[in-house]
Amino acid sequence: MSAQTKRNKKDPSQMRHGYTTGACATAMTKAALQALVTGKVPNEVMIYLPVGQYATFKVTGFEKTENEVMCETIKDAGDDPDATHQARIQSTVRFSKRRGIHLDGGIGVGRVTKAGLPVPIGEAAINPVPRKMINAVVEEALDEYQLDCGIDVIISVPDGEEIAKKTLNGRLGIIGGISILGTRGIVVPFSSSAYMASIVQAINVAKEAGCDHLVITTGGRSEKYAMKQYPHLQEEAFIEMGDFVGFTLKHIAKQKIPNVSLVGMIGKFSKIAQGIMMVHSKSAPVSFEFLAGMAKRVGVEEAVQKEILQANTASQVADLLKGNEAFFEALCKNCCYHALNHINSNMNVSTTLYTLSGECIGKAENIDKLDENDWYR
């Protein structure tokens, strides 16, 4: 193992937290407004984060005229593999004859074009908590410096449009750049909550777009195969659930979307077939005993059952049972039954299994009720 690989494999408890784009934008708004009033750009500013702690941000660049000041910081996402890590986050502040605080997005901040997001259509994609944070530091300055005027604030991310290509913003209807995000102000490395929040957002957008059939996948490869399988569905209908199967199903049920299709590969879907709704490899290893039991149930000969028990991966099991339609159909049906059982709600569920190369090896379609006689548990 290389030294670089060793360095990358950190204990999660030792990983360094970072800061959200919302926290960076708030800090730079405070810095720019301070500079506008006093004539001096600070080297750093401190703000209070929603998580309940203070944080200090360096001002890494600025532009100053008589009427406005722009301050910039470099976003530090800590040890999280965040698309916006090292992004330049800017806030430009100027006095306004209009009373109140007027917040908008500039270059590299996306604009909302679809319903279902927490920001109205037409507005800059600056989420509610960052808006509240930015407004709070402006109100604090208005009071501290006893200013009797309005304030314009423009948040920009010079490379935001390019960064947005690495995100799902386009599908969510956020066009022209990234979103200014963050409910806590800090970025937790490999945060489950951040991914889950993006799933909820995607389901809300799909609902508002009129989707009555969602296709949920475990990753980009399975989503590509799903899009070929369901070419008639609009882009919003496809949602990458990652490992969060149960969480995603619950939120689809909550939105009363009547049809859902699960599309993926045997490794993670063999776990769903057992009723496991969080399919991360560390949370739940593949059960070869379960797969051998299902093989026995559909009449697979004993010698092959023994080979399944000795297998190293679920893909190896798929190779052993290649062409056995009964096995893969039973596995897919089991996924549907456990999905229905998990949500305890009326829904029409389908499941499709693919190999890594994109070959469809099994299907179960339009399962809307549990069949105890057919359900292998």
Q: Could you give the 3-state DSSP secondary structure of residue 53?
A: coil
DSSP symbol at 218:
S
pLDDT of residue 92: 98
- And the tokens for 18? 């970072």
Q: Which residue ranges in the chain fall short of pLDDT 50?
A: 1-12
Amino acid at 248: T
pLDDT tens, position by position, 18-71: 899 999 999 999 999 999 999 999 999 999 999 899 999 999 999 999 899 999
pLDDT of residue 190: 59
Q: For helices 192-208 and 245-254, what crossing angle results, to 10°?
A: 30
Beta strands (DSSP E) in the chain are 18-19, 44-48, 54-58, 61-64, 68-74, 88-96, 101-105, 108-109, 111-112, 150-156, 174-175, 177-178, 186-187, 213-217, 238-240, 259-265, 348-354, 360-367
DSSP symbol at 228:
H
pLDDT of residue 7: 36
Closest CA to 171 of 191, 199, 190, 196: 199
- Distance between CA atoms of residues 189 and 265, nearest Å: 27
CB 139 within 8 Å of CB 101: yes
pLDDT of residue 9: 42
Torsion angle of the four alpha carbons 130, 136, 141, 142, in this order, in degrees rounded to the nearest 10: 120
pLDDT of residue 167: 86
